[in-house]
Structure 1
């Protein structure tokens, strides 16, 4: 069934946390070569749309959650909800974040590439 891309982009799935490793090790998780990448396997899809994913490489220093949230297209009204969810999960300082825009998928599980799945939120689109 066809779903308008703008409709798909109304929701953002967010993973955030502390990644220990190299940038290359972080990126391998998302590499789409001849077979499904580990990210795709983890969320139950054959391949991801490169226009709908945001992969922000880990930064050297740990920062407040709000600093990384500024880099993604999440609706401002959702930021406090995300910060509360992170605190509930005991996530305070982070160095990595990635997201996927897709209102049609449901994520099962909570740890992906060392990061915690926070949930699905409204986007700023």
Structure 2
């Protein structure tokens, strides 16, 4: 499917306040070292995921969620929906977000993943 000659893609957006230390965060995503036993893989039923489609942002401190949502890739195409989704799921403050583009793991909008809530899956064109 295309939009103005561009491919329509989907981006999963998790946002909130991270649990634990920086080391805990990196271990949660350590598919290289832990394989299918990494926390994120266990939580999503995946044995692997492609870091080429992964991005993360750390604010350095807990801030109003709007300061973090603006760092989500392509969010200018769905910023109103992203803001509404954060409000709907009670995410008003955050220190981090992570995203995956065209991810096909077993996810549940509204569920927390290592402290961050999957607030939605949004379409964008690239």
**TM-score, with structure 2 as normaliser:** 0.79
Name the structure 2 match of 1:89: 89
> Any stretches of 5+ residues in structure 2 without a counterpart?
1-5
> Any stretches of 5+ residues in structure 1 without a counterpart?
1-5
Name the structure 2 match of 1:3: none
Greater strand percent: which structure?
A: 2
Name the structure 2 match of 1:54: 55
* Backbone CA RMSD of aligned residues: 2.3
Name the structure 1 match of 2:74: 74
Q: Deviations over 1:46-89 (max 9, x none)?
A: 10101011133x43322222322222213413111111111122
Contact conserved, 1:13 with 1:121, CA < 8 A, in 2? yes
Instruction: Provide the rounded CA distance (Å) in 1 between the counterparts of 2:71 and 2:94.
Output: 13
**TM-score, with structure 1 as normaliser:** 0.79
Greater helix percent: which structure?
A: 2
Farther off after superposition, 100-109 or 37-46? 100-109
- Structure 1 residue runs of 4 or more that deviate by more than 6 Å after TM superposition: none
Give 3-state SS (helix, strand or coil) of 1:90's partner. coil
Name the structure 1 match of 2:10: 11
Contact conserved, 1:63 with 1:94, CA < 8 A, in 2? yes
> Which structure is richer in relative contact order (CA contacts within 8 A, separation 6 or more)?
1
Instruction: Provide the rounded CA distance (Å) in 2 between the counterparts of 1:74 and 1:65.
Output: 17
Give 3-state SS (helix, strand or coil) of 1:14's partner. strand
Deviation at 1:11, TM superposition (A): 0.8
Farther off after superposition, 40-49 or 66-75? 66-75
Return closer, same or farther for 1:11/1:35 CA change in 2, 3 Å cut-off: same
Return closer, same or farther for 1:20/1:44 CA change in 2, 3 Å cut-off: closer
Instruction: Provide the rounded CA distance (Å) in 1 between the counterparts of 2:80 and 2:39.
Output: 30
